Structure 1
Amino acid sequence: MQYKFVDYVFLFCIMSIWILLLYNGLLTYFGYKYSVELSKYPLEVIKNMNRFPKISILIPAHNEELVIGKTVLSILKLDYPKDKMEVIVINDNSSDGTGRILKEIQDNNKDRDIKVITTNKENGGKGKSNALNLGYNLSKGEFIVIYDADNTPEPISLRILAYTIDNNKDYGAVIGKFRTRNKRKNILTKFINIEGLSFQWMAQGGRWKIFNLCTIPGTNFILRRSIIEQIGGWDTEAIAEDTEISIRIYQLGSKICFMPLAVTWEQEPETMKIWFKQRTRWVKGNVYVLWKYLKKPKEIIGKKIAVDIYYYFGVYFLFLISLIASDIIFILGLFTSIKVSVSGVFVIIWLLSYVMFVLQVNIALSIEKGEANRENFFLVLLSYFTYCQMWFLVTIKGVYAYIQDKVLGKKATWYKTERFE
């Protein structure tokens, strides 16, 4: 009878953690199967495609002078007919040299359709969603493609996105894969590189293979214009506008396809301060989406998108609470007389969960050429105790920030991720 409550809490925590681990294991298996299928994909068909729909590329930019030039120039080099592609940069209330750099690019590429929307404090500076709506209203393309201001897509990537969505009428959107272009900078960017690759093959590849379901990542994706018209544009209250618009696309009965052959390279945070700020914004934005749809259960019950809603709830609440509670019980067992009766089994359970984590991430890395190496293997071993643990603080801060904004009635604004040379 002694400390029975602690035993029940501990068992609940272990069950919650293992449910998520097993789910991710399932996603990893099917993500790997999907990668094998794609290795046989006939790229010659895309290289020789004969229909080129009009594409509008939107690039939201707020104080991006360090990266915007490289991004726009790489987009101008995309292997796609010039007359079928318009580039629209939303220079959203920038106070640096972003506008000057864009003007130089326009002057040096007068044969290209490059438009720059410059906003001020009155009509801009209200977040990425607002900037995207401004760009969309000016666009003319049959399809809309989004790139973040720090992206350098591979030349063939636009063809792959356009071909995939144009030849599958039930696809409302197609997303590509993002890679870390500054992964060699320091140990933080190496961790981020591992995180990004494992996320895409576990959470995106696996879910697409099992459920025909995945979530727009915020960059390197294509949308049907008709889809945006039906949903009325981006939700200007949403910080995680990518997750929010994904749900509304699924509510229309359309699919979002994961096509990782379309690759873009992006710059990731190089300092903990910037990483923490960016990830906190992600959590805060996803909590907004989670709450928006959990309070409207009729809109998700019986629909595939409910898988994602419950997954976010599990990660940001159930999983987090279970990890914190199990850590507290572990510390109490070290320094007090409070101990769980299954303490002998605890070490075995913990070791198994650790092995499961390492196995899943390394399988995901094995899919990417050059990533399954000795250095990354040891970084995965280390990340469980370091990088992954930092997500506790990020999640707590993100949930707190969301609640704080709700209480104070704050509106969405640009959450700037600082760039590097």
Structure 2
Amino acid sequence: MKYVELLLFVLIGIQVFYFFIFAVAGLAPHELILKKGQPLTRFAVLIPGYKEDKIIVDTARQALEVDYPRERYRVIVLADSFQPETVQKLRAIGAEVLEVIFDHSTKAKSINKGLEYLENDPPEAIVILDSDNVMAHFFLRKVSDAFKSGHQIIQAHRTAKNKNTPMAILDAANEEIGNHIFRKGHRNMGLSSALIGSGMVFEYHLYKKYMAQITDTAGEDKQLEMLLLKDGHTIEFYEHAYVYDEKVSTTKNFGKQRTRWLGAQFYFFRNYFLDGLKHLILKGNVDYFDKCFQMALIPKVLLIGLMGIVGVVDYFTDWLTYNWLLLTVLYYSAMLISVPASMYNKDLLRAIAHIPVAIVALIGSILRINKKTATHFEVTEKGQTGEAK
């Protein structure tokens, strides 16, 4: 029992210190050095969607209304299994529509079709949005400055546009914790930002080259990260370029979404961890190994519950040592300092009380994972697009 406890303590302790170090690093500012007065970038904004008839027209309309010259960007909806009337509405408001059909739909397949569609008139850079995303009004101007300043791969600051339920608030807080630790904190430590899957900007030819290598997976953003970091590319994080994203509002959709995410995480851990370790030892590629290591991390919400239980047991019994209590305090501190001050209000407290429900949903997600989870796309139902802020 003693050795099992020691092993468990070491494994969880590594993760807790990992979170804590990058959470502290994220407290420092991360400002990009930008070259002003550069010509505006020619963008293609790709919006892949699968049966997203309910929200896609509003998303495309808002993308067409950002403050950027219309002749310098195109909005292209990659319409997988959309209704004919939806396609007509999209074209009527000025969006381009590429209809795609696959026996087995994935986001990567749609994007690759979109990149092929652009071959005859390629843009300088690609912006990837999800079908519920809204760019901030000056988003394209900001990322144009960053792109012209030499940043070929940029993860923008994706943040919540809805906080209408306790689950949506938890999801929003989880996103900001990820921004703080895996994006801002990592860049401040000299490592690459994590990609999120949307709100991303890439140099066109570079993106096309790497997307062509993506296999049949539902976690295309994670595989793309692996390939880019393995080859020594750096992913930048632009904290002040905002994309607003709809957060899941119900426990059912939370569990459904996490099943897909966790399935992809397990898949990439199995297939990349040892390769990342090899590249760390033989080539000193810390960035690539760090990404592979992230695939071994326990989900943040689940670890909150686990550390809470262990911490309470540690305090009231002599079953464990007080080292566990210290570990719990460190982990909770890392989470708390990673949540933006603007989110600290009564609604957040009510959402925190909802964490046990989220943990149960997360455990259910883990139990539902099977071999098809990482390769089969399952859409998470969204109900609104909201207005850009």
**TM-score by structure 2 length?**
0.85
Partner of 2:185: 206
Judged with a 3 Å threshold, the aligned counterparts in structure 2 of structure 1 residues 158 and 196 are, in CA distance, closer, same or farther, namely same
Larger CA Rg, structure 1 vs 2: 1
Whole-angstrom CA distance in 2 between matches of 1:411 and 1:281: 6
Contact 1:92 1:125 in 2 (8 A): no
Partner of 1:25: 20
1:105 pairs with 90, 103, 113, which one?
Answer: 90
CA displacement 1:210-257 (0-9 Å, x = unmatched): 133122100001011221243352514121111110111122322100
Whole-angstrom CA distance in 1 between matches of 2:374 and 2:362: 25
- Once the two structures are superposed, the pairs formed by residues 392-407 of structure 1 within 5 Å of their partners are 392-398=363-369, 401=370, 404-405=371-372
Partner of 1:157: 139
SS at structure 2 position matched to 1:17: helix
- Once the two structures are superposed, the pairs formed by residues 14-413 of structure 1 within 5 Å of their partners are 14-34=9-29, 37-38=30-31, 49-94=37-82, 97=83, 99-109=84-94, 114-120=95-101, 123=102, 125-139=104-118, 140-168=122-150, 171-183=151-163, 185-231=164-210, 233=212, 235-294=214-273, 296=275, 298=278, 301=281, 302-303=284-285, 304-315=287-298, 343-344=317-318, 346=320, 348-366=322-340, 370-377=342-349, 379-380=351-352, 382=353, 385-388=356-359, 390-398=361-369, 401=370, 404-405=371-372, 412-413=375-376
Whole-angstrom CA distance in 2 between matches of 1:219 and 1:194: 17
CA displacement 1:290-348 (0-9 Å, x = unmatched): 222235454564212101212322437xx98x959x97x999x9xxxxxx9x9527374
Whole-angstrom CA distance in 1 between matches of 2:220 and 2:214: 7
Q: Which amino acid aligns with 2:98?
A: I
CA RMSD of aligned residues (A): 3.1
Q: Which amino acid aligns with 2:7?
A: F
Whole-angstrom CA distance in 2 between matches of 1:348 and 1:384: 25
CA displacement 1:20-54 (0-9 Å, x = unmatched): 112111111111103xx44xx79xx78x7441121
Contact 1:293 1:300 in 2 (8 A): no
SS at structure 2 position matched to 1:155: coil
SS at structure 2 position matched to 1:255: coil
Contact 1:17 1:323 in 2 (8 A): no
Contact 1:132 1:234 in 2 (8 A): no
Contact 2:217 2:374 in 1 (8 A): no
Contact 1:213 1:257 in 2 (8 A): yes
Partner of 1:336: none
Q: Which amino acid aligns with 2:254?
A: W
Instruction: Structure 2: state its 5+ residue gaps.
Output: 385-389
Judged with a 3 Å threshold, the aligned counterparts in structure 2 of structure 1 residues 227 and 166 are, in CA distance, closer, same or farther, namely same
Whole-angstrom CA distance in 1 between matches of 2:7 and 2:274: 25
Contact 1:133 1:234 in 2 (8 A): no
Whole-angstrom CA distance in 2 between matches of 1:358 and 1:300: 30
Judged with a 3 Å threshold, the aligned counterparts in structure 2 of structure 1 residues 30 and 285 are, in CA distance, closer, same or farther, namely same
User: How far apart are residue 86 of structure 1 and its match?
Assistant: 1.2
**Among the aligned pairs, what percent are the same residue?**
18
Partner of 1:3: none
Whole-angstrom CA distance in 1 between matches of 2:104 and 2:96: 19
2:8 pairs with 10, 13, 16, which one?
Answer: 13
User: How far apart are residue 82 of structure 1 and its match?
Assistant: 0.9
**TM-score by structure 1 length?**
0.79
SS at structure 1 position matched to 2:143: helix
SS at structure 1 position matched to 2:27: helix
Judged with a 3 Å threshold, the aligned counterparts in structure 2 of structure 1 residues 61 and 242 are, in CA distance, closer, same or farther, namely same
User: How far apart are residue 288 of structure 1 and its match?
Assistant: 2.1
Q: Which amino acid aligns with 1:278?
A: Q
SS at structure 2 position matched to 1:65: coil
Whole-angstrom CA distance in 2 between matches of 1:275 and 1:388: 10
Contact 1:227 1:249 in 2 (8 A): no
Judged with a 3 Å threshold, the aligned counterparts in structure 2 of structure 1 residues 26 and 384 are, in CA distance, closer, same or farther, namely farther
